[in-house]
Structure 1
Amino acid sequence: MKTMTCKQLGGACDLVFEAETFEEIAELSKQHGMEMYQQQDPAHLEAMAKVQAMMQDPEVMKAWYEAKKREFDSL
């Protein structure tokens, strides 16, 4: 089992996600993000806006994803 925090994944808090694969970590992060969006948490909304801006450029998003996956794999 490996762990990453919301902040490590571009989020706004220190919530820890645990999973066997990066894909599972990404899904847990996505679920947490949806919960924070529903709660309209200001810090998370700001972090989400930054990620959404990054998503406008597929190459930037791909590079970010691959970097986070390498970070996970190195844990």
Structure 2
Amino acid sequence: MKTMKPTKTMTCRQLGGPCDHGHRTSTADEAIKAQDRHLNEVVAAGDAAHAEALKAMKDRWKRPIAGMGWYRQAKRDFAALADD
């Protein structure tokens, strides 16, 4: 019997974005990937409010040490969330 991992909801704002759109996932990595998709989709649809957050996400990986600091913090923040 396969057991389901508990899920947690992390918002766009908690991941550095401007809105409260929730990403309901089982891991921090899934939440970060969902945030990347969310930012790309809404900016492509013309949402200027998310453009700065998308640029910041892309720029994080140009500075790997700082990017890893953000990544580790996002993982800690996800771990601290209550299960849904």
TM bin (shorter chain): 0.7 to 0.9
Aligned match of 1:44: 50
Higher relative contact order (CA 8 A, sep 6+): 2
- Which one has the largest radius of gyration? 2
TM-score of the two chains, using structure 2 as the length reference? 0.79
Unpaired runs of 5+ in structure 2? 1-6
- Segments ≥4 residues shifted beyond 4 Å: none
Partners of 1:31 and 1:51 in 2: CA distance:
11
Q: What's the CA shift string for 1:13-63, capped at 9, x where partnerless?
A: 110110111111111111111111211211100222233344331111000
Q: RMSD across aligned C-alpha pairs, in angstroms?
A: 1.3
Percent identical pairs in the alignment equals 36
Partners of 2:61 and 2:18 in 1: CA distance:
18
Task: Kindly indicate which of the two structures has a greater share of residues assigned to helix.
Answer: 1
